């Protein structure tokens, strides 16, 4: 069975601080895909990144960066110089090639960036 754990329920930071959101996953499949989604207060789910299990390269996109480490089964997300607009719930999700396309979501981390 697949499982995604986001241990941080809520995080509160002050604008311009760096913040890291943790994601730990469990699967027995060797081919799998990891995702991060953002859910702002307006409620929609916005895709941020997809990473497959064979690509452990870290990725940077503007103020966002992701650290994928298979050795610790983690796929952490860092926001550098946070802004108020980053306030949202962030979800980490997993799907495996061996199963269906079913996305298994973590419970989410609510990030509040205060001015």
CB nearer to another protein: give 77 or 108. 108
Of 75, 76, 79, residue with least CA distance to 112: 79
CB of 83 or CB of 99, closer to another protein: 99
Which of 91, 92, 109, 111 is close enough to bind another protein by CB under 8 A? 91
Strands 46-52 and 104-105 turn out to be unpaired
CB of 9 to another protein, least distance (A): 12
Q: Does 47 bind another protein (CB under 8 A)?
A: yes
Query: For residues 24 and 91, what is the distance between their CA atoms, to the nearest angstrom?
Result: 12
Per CB under 8 A, 26 contacts another protein:
no
Choose among 72, 78, 68, 74: nearest CA to 20.
78
Q: Decide: is 115 part of the binding site for another protein (CB under 8 A).
A: no
Q: Quote the tokens at residue 46.
A: 């916005």
Q: Which residue has the tokens 């997809």?
A: 50
- Please give the residue ranges that form the binding site for another protein (CB under 8 A): 33, 35, 37, 43-47, 50, 52, 91, 95, 97, 100-103, 105-108
């Amino acid at each position: 069975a697949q499982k995604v754990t986001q241990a941080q329920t809520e995080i509160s930071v002050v604008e311009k601080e760096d913040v890291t959101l943790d994601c730990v996953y469990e699967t027995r499949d060797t081919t799998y895909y990891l995702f991060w989604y953002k859910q702002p207060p307006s409620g929609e789910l916005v895709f941020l990144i997809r990473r497959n299990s064979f690509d452990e390269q870290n990725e940077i996109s503007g103020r966002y960066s992701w650290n994928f480490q298979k050795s610790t089964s983690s796929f952490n997300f860092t926001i550098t110089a946070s802004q108020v607009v980053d306030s949202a719930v962030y979800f980490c999700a997993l799907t495996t090639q061996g199963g269906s396309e079913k996305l298994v979501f973590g419970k989410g981390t609510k990030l509040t960036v205060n001015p």
